[in-house]
């Protein structure tokens, strides 16, 4: 069945308030709704918001370089995008004014808004956008997410100050979705002339805040952009941000972040643990913002490029050998409904099939017997030709919260009952990337956020087994299926929305029925914040919160 989840309508445009429609209320039992209602009070100007992030500290504040979610979180405060999403989940122009495409789909013309400047005084124009796209596509930038998003652009021409003409290698019906992501945000072309190290330290955008300083392993200090010009004219709040500044702290330990929130040392924390969300739901002074990310679901990918997962029977057996439901129920306190889809529930074209993913140890056993793993060693693990059925599972401690790590440990225990060994390796982010690059994994949980169903091409096309300039590749299940590639190519180029939906459904069925992934839940974006912080809830198209409309009550 195709799921059009109501959360798909909760993504709202960056730095925009559309009255009460901006509410990002959580559907979890422990949560309270975000504070974007009309009773939030009279806005107060001034003060510094202290935000505590549990994500890995970015190695570069320019999301063009690499392109991960921690970069998007902080960059959403000082960079803006050509497009965004409104309260109904519809793509709308932001720094762009309009866009048209030729009948053959090979020429995309983008009109750029006039009268907007970067915080260094450089004017936003078509040439500036062209420079940004060239920066993203330049291998020396070492982009991953942005590079892949713009991969079908063949050439560019700034026809005049407000007109950018893009020639495409093949039609790309996801290009405007790509334009809405922080990894394709627009930066000052003057600033981009600096060294990469300089630009990483202080990217220059058009947003409501700007980077003042960055103290590594501690915090990034952002200050109000006193010359900010809101690109749209329909917003309730014009002018500049209410807050004077944002201190963006990095606090890896979940318990320490929550304690800092309780003590009033910080006003917002991300990566909130399920038990903290449940506890916060019982007090009136802490609020909860639930903003699931678009693109892929949070899932475990099975490396089909080598034994044992080059055998579909073993992939299916593994999926039936782990009791995901019981673990999610016991560890997540209702904050993470189980997923049965390769796509996030916020994606309208997500296809879900629960029947494929039930815990069934007896079925797992029969499948393993049929695949030749019928004998067991002295420790109870299955063996074949003298080799134990052992799976290597590198886990990034920066990307998996403690509750998720506990989920993996419980999966490890139930898999052992079926004779499958899972070796969990807890790694820092750099070492985790290294293991993927060496193909030293059988299982991996690798979050990937992209607006729209075209994320399926990033994750499952044969081309995505080839690393981007950053060295990162996204097809971790290493699917190489010409029939799947053909479906993805047509799905990404058709102008017929009904055909697009049908093709992406076919793609998802092939991926799920091939047991290349084990869906877990939506990529979790849980933010807890003080009740002193008002008008929280506006997010970008990739569900990163923005604080243009937010103020601190006295």
How far apart are alpha carbons 70 and 544 in whole angstroms? 10
pLDDT at res. 21: 29
The residues, ordered by sequence, that sit 6+ positions from 143 with a Cβ below 8 Å of its Cβ are 64, 65, 66, 67, 136, 137, 183, 468, 469, 470
pLDDT at res. 74: 98
Does pTM top 0.85 for this prediction?
yes
pLDDT at res. 470: 83
Choose among 172, 204, 166: nearest CA to 64: 204
DSSP conformation class of 61 = S
Choose among 84, 102, 103: nearest CA to 94: 84
> Which segments of the chain belong to CATH 3.10.105.10?
298-521
Spell out the CATH class of 298-521.
alpha beta
pLDDT at res. 37: 40
DSSP helix/strand/coil, 467: coil
DSSP E strand stretches across 371-493: 375-376, 382-384, 387-388, 390-396, 421-427, 443-444
Query: Tens-digit pLDDT profile for the chain (554 aa)?
Result: 333 332 222 234 333 332 222 332 223 222 233 444 444 689 999 999 999 999 889 999 999 999 999 999 999 999 999 999 988 889 999 999 999 999 999 999 999 999 999 999 999 999 999 999 999 999 999 999 999 999 999 999 999 999 999 999 999 999 999 999 999 999 999 999 999 999 999 999 999 999 999 999 999 999 999 999 999 986 678 899 999 999 999 999 999 999 999 999 999 999 999 999 999 999 999 999 999 999 999 999 999 999 999 999 999 999 999 999 999 999 999 999 999 999 999 999 999 999 999 999 999 999 999 999 999 999 999 999 999 999 999 999 988 999 999 999 999 999 999 999 999 999 998 999 999 999 999 999 998 999 999 999 999 999 999 888 888 889 999 999 999 999 999 999 999 999 999 999 999 999 999 999 999 999 989 999 999 999 999 999 999 999 999 999 98
Furthest CA-CA distance within the chain: 74
> 303: which 2 tokens?
């490396």
Beta strand 209-215 pairing with 219-224? antiparallel
DSSP E strand stretches across 42-190: 48-53, 83-85, 91-93, 96-101, 107-112, 153-160, 163-168
> Which segments of the chain belong to CATH 3.40.190.10?
2-291+525-552
Look up the CATH superfamily of 2-291+525-552: Periplasmic binding protein-like II (3.40.190.10)
How far apart are alpha carbons 125 and 426 in whole angstroms? 46
């Amino acid at each position: 069945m195709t799921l059009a989840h109501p959360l798909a309508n909760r993504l709202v445009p960056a730095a925009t308030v559309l009255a009460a429609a901006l509410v990002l209320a959580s559907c979890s039992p422990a949560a309270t709704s975000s504070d974007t209602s009309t009773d939030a009070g009279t806005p107060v100007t001034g003060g510094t918001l202290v935000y505590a992030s549990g994500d890995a500290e970015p190695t570069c504040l320019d999301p063009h370089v690499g392109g991960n979610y921690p970069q998007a979180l902080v960059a959403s405060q000082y960079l803006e995008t050509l497009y965004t999403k409104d309260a109904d989940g519809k793509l709308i122009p932001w720094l762009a004014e309009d866009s048209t495409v030729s009948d053959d789909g090979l020429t995309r013309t983008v009109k750029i808004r006039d009268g907007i400047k970067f915080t260094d005084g450089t004017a936003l124009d078509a040439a500036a956008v062209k420079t940004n796209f060239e920066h993203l596509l330049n291998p020396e930038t070492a982009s991953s997410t942005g590079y892949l998003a713009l991969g079908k652009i063949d050439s560019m021409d700034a026809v005049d100050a407000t007109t950018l003409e893009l020639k495409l290698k093949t039609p790309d019906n996801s290009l405007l979705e790509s334009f809405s992501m922080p990894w394709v945000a627009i930066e000052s072309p003057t600033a981009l002339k600096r060294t990469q190290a300089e630009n990483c330290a202080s990217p220059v955008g058009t947003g409501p805040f700007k980077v003042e300083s960055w103290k590594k392993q501690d915090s990034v200090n952002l200050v109000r952009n006193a010359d900010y010009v809101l690109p749209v004219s329909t917003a309730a709040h014009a002018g500049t941000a209410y807050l004077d500044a944002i201190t963006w702290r990095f606090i890896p330990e979940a318990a320490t972040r929550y304690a800092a929130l309780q003590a009033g040392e910080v006003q917002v924390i991300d990566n909130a643990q399920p038990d903290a969300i449940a506890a916060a739901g019982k007090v009136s002074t802490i609020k909860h913002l639930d903003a699931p990310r678009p693109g892929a679901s949070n899932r475990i990918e099975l490396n089909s490029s080598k034994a044992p997962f080059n055998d579909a029977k073993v992939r299916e057996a593994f999926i039936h050998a782990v009791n995901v439901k019981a673990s999610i129920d016991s560890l997540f306190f209702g904050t993470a409904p189980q997923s049965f889809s390769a796509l996030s529930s916020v994606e309208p074209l997500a296809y879900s099939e629960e029947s494929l993913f039930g815990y069934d140890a007896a079925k797992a056993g029969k499948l393993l017997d049929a695949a030749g793993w019928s004998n067991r060693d002295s420790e109870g693990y299955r063996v074949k030709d003298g080799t134990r059925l052992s799976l290597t599972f590198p886990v990034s401690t920066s990307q998996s919260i403690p509750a998720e790590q506990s989920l993996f440990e419980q999966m490890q225990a139930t898999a052992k009952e079926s004779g499958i060994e899972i070796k969990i390796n807890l790694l820092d982010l750099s070492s985790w990337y290294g293991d993927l690059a060496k193909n030293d994994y059988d299982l991996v949980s690798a979050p990937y956020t992209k607006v729209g169903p075209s994320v399926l091409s990033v994750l499952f096309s044969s081309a995505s087994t080839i690393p981007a300039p950053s060295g990162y590749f996204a097809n971790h299940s290493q699917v190489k299926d010409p029939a799947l590639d053909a479906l993805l190519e047509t799905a990404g180029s058709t102008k017929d929305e009904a055909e697009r939906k049908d093709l992406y459904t076919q793609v998802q069925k092939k991926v799920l029925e091939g047991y290349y992934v084990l869906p877990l839940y939506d990529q979790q974006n849980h933010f807890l914040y003080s009740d002193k912080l008002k008008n929280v809830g506006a997010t970008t198209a990739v569900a990163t919160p923005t604080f243009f409309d937010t103020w601190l009550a006295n």
